[in-house]
């Protein structure tokens, strides 16, 4: 499947497969961008329309590593 | 020519029985009879799906010319993604006409909301635009002057607002707050609240959640000692702990405790290893918003505390006896990091290998979760771990959690500051609490010399130009909510159904009024290479997993219980 910026979830899936042990919490935007552009199926401009596109990829990547349901913590405990 | 008026209405949050689904409508009706509306917060309220058929409830939709958020917790922002779903066509038309949907909030709140939208796979072009809100920097929206001020809460960047209508009526909402200092960002400031009050406050809305508890809510710093004691008790062993991911200050507290313990003992500090998506996102959001925990701790203590992602090779290189795992899943949520560790199935946390393992749940059991909470502790015990799971109803050995909500002492302080400084009479409206909690706030306010009123959902408080206050009672005992049902019960690929329901205030009984039609994300199938082609055949049919979890990775087909709110 051809990957373009709007497919941020699919980009995250491809990254997760390509870099299964990547430290996600210290990954900076420049390195993330390099990884995305290097994906074999990536077929879009080398610069995202907005920095938020990169952030969306990283957000989804953190979820793909170990998906979990949302915490159901009542307001009183927070 | 009509008489102008300013008004407030709770369209969710002042519920009879439980807290959640917070949404406040501030409005101003001008001399031509036109009403300008500002919405503050749009949260979700958890629901027991087996009882109600819904994963969550959210406030009903209403027209708003401006939108503010107080902080990032789901009971304040969880409804926004659903609102965007339900208004997809209208917002698209607005965008095409050059009118963006704009939300005013602080950076950390924005980041957590954006994470929520990304996890729901909302097309990027449908994300709202954001305007940054900063403590002490007023702005105008929808004809209102808004004066934001920082408050302390368990999430960073929590804000209160003074919302001033064109008539000069000033309505002050504290959001969720306490008065003790917080480690990250700005927090409650008596001087600032007094200064704001000096300009006059007509209505003040106060968080009632912990109002029935005596004293003042302790500062986050008090947890440091508990964590230090835990570390001292776990000498030579690996520590595995769990926290509430949305209480992001706690990460700073853990880091400070490790650094101080190292300073006091002369030993090398432990390394923090994060496991669990929501916790990692909290940490990433903190960094993006300029909260650098490692740097702050270094400046405060001189210690280099490392924080690693559990999946990274660097984490595995740390000697086990120097690891301090911080996981998601305090309540035994089946797929969360902590639960999987308790079953020995978390590949990021090696439970075997000759090193003693000390397990600390930093959060007590929330009523309703007793079974899975106990099962999780037993799972760790079965693996030979030493466990500490605090008891909600007893005094515990270690203080590992403090709330973010004002107790009676905090509320008294807020009332005193306003009573002393506001040049005009102030009426307190308790919010975010059950009836007993709201009554407790009313009494505190009255004792401070302020007026106070209990105002249920869908009742309005109106303030005339001259400051005269009147109440409009709800016309019906049927509250209106939107029930959110993930038909898939699969938080990876949710399929939402939205019903407008009424809820009888006295009996709690629900009645479906209508299923709200909405256009699903238009590019969803195209984006994922799914959907049908012109011949009606499926493009790129989904792979069959044959009951196996491919490559040890998560298989969404196994998800039985969804999170709904995502």
What does the pLDDT look like over B278-288, one tens digit per residue? 999 999 999 99
Please give the pLDDT value at position A78: 79
Please give the pLDDT value at position B509: 92
Euclidean distance between CA atoms B196 and B379, whole angstroms:
52
Phi, psi of B307 (to 5 degrees): -125, 120
Q: Which residues of B touch A78 (CB under 8 A)?
A: 73, 153-155, 176, 244, 246-247, 403-405
CB distance B335–A68 less than 8 Å? yes
* DSSP secondary structure string for all residues of B166-232: TT--EEEE--S-BSS--SSS----HHHHHHHHHT--SEEEEE-TBTTS-S-PPPTTHHHHHHHHHHH
Taking alpha carbons only, the member of B360, B346, B363, B359 closest to residue B385 is: B359
Taking alpha carbons only, the member of B6, B16, B3 closest to residue B472 is: B6
Q: What is the ipTM of this complex?
A: 0.96
Number of helices and strands in chain B (H, E): 16, 26
Taking the CB of residue B445, how many other CB atoms lie within 10 A of it?
26
d(CA A14, nearest CA chain B) in Å: 13
* Pick from B247, B276, B283: CB nearest A78: B247
* Pick from A53, A63, A74: CB nearest B277: A63
pLDDT in tens, chain B (566 residues): 678 999 999 998 888 777 899 999 999 999 999 999 999 999 999 998 999 999 999 999 998 999 999 999 999 999 999 999 999 999 999 999 999 999 999 999 999 999 999 999 999 999 999 999 999 999 999 999 999 999 999 999 999 999 999 999 999 999 999 999 999 999 999 999 999 999 999 999 999 999 999 999 999 999 999 999 999 999 999 999 999 988 899 999 999 999 999 999 999 999 999 999 999 999 999 999 999 999 999 999 999 999 999 999 999 999 999 999 999 999 999 899 999 999 999 999 999 888 999 999 999 998 888 999 999 999 999 999 999 999 888 888 999 999 999 999 999 999 999 999 999 999 999 999 989 999 999 999 999 999 999 999 999 999 998 889 999 988 888 999 999 999 988 888 889 999 999 999 888 899 999 999 999 986 555 544 444 444 554 444 444 333 333 333 333 333 333 333 33
- A28 touching chain B per CB within 8 A: no
**A12 close to A64: Cβ distance less than 8 angstroms:** yes
Nearest CA in chain B to A63: B277
CB distance A75–B311 less than 8 Å? no
Q: Which two tokens stand for residue B436?
A: 């007993």
CB distance B277–A1 less than 8 Å? no
Q: Which residues of B touch A59 (CB under 8 A)?
A: 114-115, 118-119, 281, 284
**Could you write out the three-class secondary structure of B214-248?**
CCCCCCCCHHHHHHHHHHHHCCCCEEEEECCCCCC
Euclidean distance between CA atoms A35 and B393, whole angstroms:
50
For residue A12, the surrounding DSSP H or E stretch is: helix A8-18
CB distance A5–B124 less than 8 Å? yes
CB distance B563–A25 less than 8 Å? no
Cα-based angle B392, B395, B401 (whole degrees, multiple of 5): 60
CB distance A69–B118 less than 8 Å? no
Please give the pLDDT value at position B522: 65
CB distance A69–B307 less than 8 Å? no
Euclidean distance between CA atoms B126 and B101, whole angstroms:
9
Euclidean distance between CA atoms B319 and B232, whole angstroms:
17
Taking the CB of residue B136, how many other CB atoms lie within 10 A of it?
13
Euclidean distance between CA atoms B566 and B562, whole angstroms:
9
CB distance A71–B328 less than 8 Å? yes
Please give the pLDDT value at position B564: 34
Q: What is the DSSP letter of B152?
A: B
* DSSP secondary structure string for all residues of B452-491: E----TT-EEEEETT--EEEE--S-SEEEEEEEEETT--S
Cα-based angle B474, B58, B84 (whole degrees, multiple of 5): 120
Q: Fold match between B5-216+403-472 and B222-388?
A: no
**A63 close to B119: Cβ distance less than 8 angstroms:** yes
Q: Considering only the C-alpha atoms of chain B, give the largest distance between any 2 of them, rounded to a whole number of Å.
A: 82
d(CA B328, nearest CA chain A) in Å: 8
CATH homologous superfamily for the domain B5-216+403-472: Ribonuclease Z/Hydroxyacylglutathione hydrolase-like (3.60.15.10)
- Hey, which CATH number is domain A8-66, 1.10.10.600, 3.40.50.300, 3.40.10.10, 3.40.50.150? 1.10.10.600
Instruction: Give the start-to-end residue ranges of the domains of chain A.
Output: 8-66
Phi, psi of A19 (to 5 degrees): -135, 70
Q: Which residues of A touch B308 (CB under 8 A)?
A: 23, 25
Instruction: Give the start-to-end residue ranges of the domains of chain B.
Output: 5-216+403-472, 222-388
d(CA B124, nearest CA chain A) in Å: 7
CATH T-level fold of B222-388: Rossmann fold (3.40.50)
Can you say how many angstroms the Cα of residue B365 is from the centroid of all Cα atoms in its chain? 18
Whether the per-residue pLDDT at A1 is higher than 90: the answer is no
Can you say how many angstroms the Cα of residue B209 is from the centroid of all Cα atoms in its chain? 14
Query: Which residues are CB-neighbours of B75 under 8 A, at least 6 positions away?
Result: A75, B13, B19, B20, B21, B22, B43, B44, B45
**B144 close to B36: Cβ distance less than 8 angstroms:** yes
**B142 close to B36: Cβ distance less than 8 angstroms:** yes
Q: Is the dihedral of CA B48, B50, B54, B55 positive or negative?
A: positive
**B522 close to B95: Cβ distance less than 8 angstroms:** no
Taking alpha carbons only, the member of B351, B281, B269 closest to residue B309 is: B281
């Amino acid at each position: 499947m051809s990957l373009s910026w709007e497919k941020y979830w699919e980009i995250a899936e491809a990254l997760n497969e390509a870099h299964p042990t990547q430290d996600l919490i210290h990954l900076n935007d420049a390195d993330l961008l390099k990884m995305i552009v290097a994906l074999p199926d990536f077929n879009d401009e080398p610069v995202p329309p907005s920095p938020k596109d990169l952030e969306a990829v990283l957000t989804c990547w953190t979820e793909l590593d170990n998906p979990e349901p949302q915490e159901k913590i009542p307001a009183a405990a927070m | 020519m009509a008489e102008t008026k300013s008004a407030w209405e709770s369209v969710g949050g002042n519920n009879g029985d439980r807290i959640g689904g917070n949404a406040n409508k501030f409005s101003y009706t001008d001399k031509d009879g036109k009403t300008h509306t500002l919405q503050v917060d749009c949260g979700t309220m958890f629901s027991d799906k087996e009882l109600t058929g819904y994963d969550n409830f959210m406030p009903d939709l209403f027209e708003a010319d401006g939108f503010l958020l107080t902080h990032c917790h789901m009971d304040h922002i969880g409804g926004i993604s659903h609102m965007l779903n339900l208004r997809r066509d209208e917002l698209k038309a607005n965008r095409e006409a050059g009118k963006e949907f704009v939300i005013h909030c602080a950076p950390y709140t924005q980041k957590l909301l954006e994470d929520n939208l990304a996890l729901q796979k909302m097309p990027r072009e449908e994300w709202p635009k954001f305007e940054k809100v900063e403590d002490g920097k007023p702005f105008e929206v929808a004809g209102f002057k808004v004066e934001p001020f920082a408050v302390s809460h368990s999430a960073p960047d929590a804000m209160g607002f003074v919302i001033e209508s064109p008539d000069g009526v000033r309505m002050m909402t504290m959001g969720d707050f306490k008065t003790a200092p917080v480690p990250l960002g700005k927090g409650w400031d008596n001087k600032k609240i007094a200064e704001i009050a000096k300009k006059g406050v007509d209505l003040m809305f106060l968080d009632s959640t912990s109002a029935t508890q005596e004293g003042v809510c302790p500062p986050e710093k008090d947890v440091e000692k508990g964590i230090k004691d835990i570390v001292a008790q776990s000498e030579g062993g690996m520590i595995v702990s769990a926290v509430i991911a949305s209480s992001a200050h706690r990460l700073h507290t853990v880091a400070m405790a490790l650094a101080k313990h190292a300073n006091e003992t002369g030993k090398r500090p432990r390394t923090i290893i994060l496991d669990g998506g929501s916790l990692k996102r909290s940490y990433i959001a903190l960094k993006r918003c300029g909260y650098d925990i490692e740097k702050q701790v270094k400046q405060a203590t001189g210690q280099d505390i490392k924080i690693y992602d559990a999946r990274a090779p660097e984490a595995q290189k740390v000697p086990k006896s120097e690891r301090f795992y911080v996981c998601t899943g305090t309540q035994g949520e089946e797929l969360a990091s902590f639960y999987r560790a308790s079953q020995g199935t978390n590949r990021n946390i090696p439970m075997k290998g000759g090193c003693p393992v000390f397990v600390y749940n930093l959060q007590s059991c929330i009523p309703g979760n007793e079974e899975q909470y106990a099962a999780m502790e037993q799972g760790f015990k079965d693996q030979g771990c030493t466990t500490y799971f605090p008891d909600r109803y007893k005094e515990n050995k270690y203080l590992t959690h403090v709330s973010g909500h004002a107790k009676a002492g905090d509320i008294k302080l807020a009332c005193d500051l306003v009573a002393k400084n506001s040049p005009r009479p102030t009426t307190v409206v308790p919010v975010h609490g059950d009836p007993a909690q709201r009554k407790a706030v009313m009494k505190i306010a009255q004792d401070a010399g302020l007026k106070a009123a209990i105002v249920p959902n869908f009742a309005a408080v109106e303030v005339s130009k001259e400051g005269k206050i009147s109440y409009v009672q709800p016309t019906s005992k049927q509250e209106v909510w939107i029930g959110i049902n993930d038909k898939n019960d699969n938080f990876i690929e949710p399929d939402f159904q939205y019903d407008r329901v009424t809820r009888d205030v006295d009996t709690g009984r629900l009645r479906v009024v209508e299923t709200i039609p909405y256009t699903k994300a238009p590019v969803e199938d195209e984006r994922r290479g799914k959907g049908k082609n012109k011949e009606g055949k499926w493009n790129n049919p989904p792979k069959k997993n044959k009951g196996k979890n491919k490559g040890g990775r998560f298989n969404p087909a196994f998800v039985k219980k969804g999170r709904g709110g995502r």
